[in-house]
Amino acid sequence: MADNAPAIVILGNGGLATARRIQQVLPAAQVLGLEGRVQGADHAYAEFGATLRQLYQSGAPIIALCAAGIVIRTLAPLLQEKGSEPPVLAVAEDGSAVVPLLGGLAGVNALAREIASALQVPPAITTSGELRFGTCLLNPPAGYALADLEQGKRFVSDLLGGETVRIEGDAPWLGTAQLPQATDARRTIHVGHALREPAVDELLIHPRNVLVAIGEAGDGLADEVRAVLRQAGIAQPSLAGLLAADAQMADSRVHQAAAQLQVPVRYLAASDSATRLTQTGLALQVLPGPLSIGVAARPLNMTRIGRPRGRLAVIGLGPGARELMVPAVQAELARATDVLGYETYVRMAGPFRDDQVLHNTDNREEMQRARHAFELAAQGRSVVMVSSGDPGVFAMAAAVLEALHEVVDDPAREDWRGVELQILPGVSASLATAALAGAPLGHDFCVVSLSDNLKPWSIIERRLDLAAQADLVLAFYNPISRARPWQLGQALDIVRRHRAADTPVTLGRDVGRPAQALRVVTLGELTPEMVDMRTMVLVGSSTTCTFPRADGGQWVYTPRWYGSKP
């Protein structure tokens, strides 16, 4: 249930100052700048239309610093399919106008007010009900849920038509609203958790004030929860969340039930469900039944109850450039509470918010870093472990799994096993280098790290010899370093035994980073001095070939066929 961070989209440097002012009141928001036009945004994007449409479809709130018309024309093709709509606003580049455009039910007006007050201008609110009553009745604040939207719309137009209203129950956010209240009104706003059919003249709003502490999780857990709520006479939208036992953290049936019910799960130590309700420390009215139900007087803030299931994501940043980082990784970085990794990569993954804790560690202590990640995640934090390229290619994913494997039977480490572990891929250096050069990996290839830090040199020699013999294209990671100066020379000697001197070799240095350099040489020309630890080496096979590019360089590719051309 990752919250979608708002995107502030700008087209030129002129909008950057306004974007940063908006970011001060919306710290989770990211500034997206048009590539080549904006310097110093949090992310670069290549194409305005595609970016805006993608954000809209992913449900991210959009704050576009450009003319309202541009935003309208760009999103128009998507507006037919009226599903859930994120807030969309146009803001004048100089901050002089804030115009909510879409997402009335997703709180666009509230967002407009917040941004406008930061920019010290009045928001351009156009929603009649909102203007008249100072609040959107159809969009109650967090902690409350509207029972029926269609009925709500009729209700609001009745009030706009001159009907008066009474409030039943506790609706503190309506205290400051300018509603036409009257004690003898026929229309009522009813706030309560009781299961009831809304009367014709009633706007029914449910507070999210009910907890269900679950017992043994079965396959039909969500249905079971629905049934006990019904039996207890409680409306399902009043369910704020589930309480499970720490021992159930890894139980997928619990996660599935929570997803089906669209509520969070929080964990407490007690295995007995009734005791778990007591452990919340809240004043709850406890209802007896097959599952323990606790009812609070006010909506519940689930983030303050028990602890969440911790999460550890091992992510790959790609070679460097933001555009080559997969969207799932970008989303993961936004939701992280803690970021671990080698300092260079942690810096590359930034910028981070003030509330995100960065743990920079030395590159060599991999296992220690992996254990540290589990310790943090087991406390319920959302931890990201960063690697460059892909995390599974000579990087942290295997170390993290090894750390977990070591404790797989350890009863004291049940908390680590409860962590939600996910590995998110990235574009590996060999693939990024190959794409720059053309398609040198277009046929079978073999990936070898030339580092003998964690494996004997003899095994590297053997693998090189056999792979070269098998006529595989070779991708060398960690080709050379100050501590390993001679290995590359020896590796090339082995390869040259099986491969012609005119075999194309692609060298990619700092690919996807500002200092990116690509060079194509032949195996005969290649010397270790051309290579350093930031270089990827792709040695061609017998079929790899080159030809001139229009811009002066060379294309390198390995054809899809082998043997003779089909």
* Residues forming the site for ligand SAH (CB under 6 A): 319-320, 387-390, 393-395, 428-429, 433, 477-479, 508-513, 533-536
Closer CB to ligand SAH, residue 477 or residue 557? 477
Closer CB to ligand SAH, residue 215 or residue 512? 512
How near is the Cβ of 275 to ligand SAH at its closest, in Å? 46
Closer CB to ligand SAH, residue 143 or residue 553? 553
How near is the Cβ of 478 to ligand SAH at its closest, in Å? 4
Query: How many Cα atoms sit within 13 Å of 70 on the Cβ side?
Result: 15
Q: Distances from the Cα of 338 to the Cαs of 81, 357, 381, in angstroms? A: 38, 5, 7
Neighbours of 2 (CB within 10 A): 10
Closer CB to ligand SAH, residue 305 or residue 321? 321
How near is the Cβ of 203 to ligand SAH at its closest, in Å? 55
Q: Which residues pair with 339 in a beta bridge?
A: 358, 384
Cis check: omega of the bond before 141, within 30 degrees of 0? no
**For residues 434 and 518, what is the distance between their CA atoms, to the nearest angstrom?**
10
How near is the Cβ of 349 to ligand SAH at its closest, in Å? 13
How near is the Cβ of 249 to ligand SAH at its closest, in Å? 30
3-class secondary-structure state, position 489: helix
Closer CB to ligand SAH, residue 273 or residue 430? 430
How near is the Cβ of 377 to ligand SAH at its closest, in Å? 21
Q: What is the largest CA-CA distance in the chain?
A: 98
Amino acid letter for position 135: T
Closer CB to ligand SAH, residue 253 or residue 484? 484
**For residues 429 and 512, what is the distance between their CA atoms, to the nearest angstrom?**
9
Closer CB to ligand SAH, residue 267 or residue 342? 342
Closer CB to ligand SAH, residue 175 or residue 514? 514
CA triplet 498, 502, 503: central angle to 5 degrees? 60
**For residues 334 and 322, what is the distance between their CA atoms, to the nearest angstrom?**
14
How near is the Cβ of 361 to ligand SAH at its closest, in Å? 16
519 backbone dihedrals φ, ψ, rounded to 5°: -140, 140
Q: Which residue is nearest to ligand SAH (CB)?
A: 389
At how many degrees (to 10) do helices 457-469 and 487-498 cross? 30
3-class secondary-structure state, position 193: coil
β-strands 357-361, 311-316 pairing: unpaired
How near is the Cβ of 482 to ligand SAH at its closest, in Å? 12
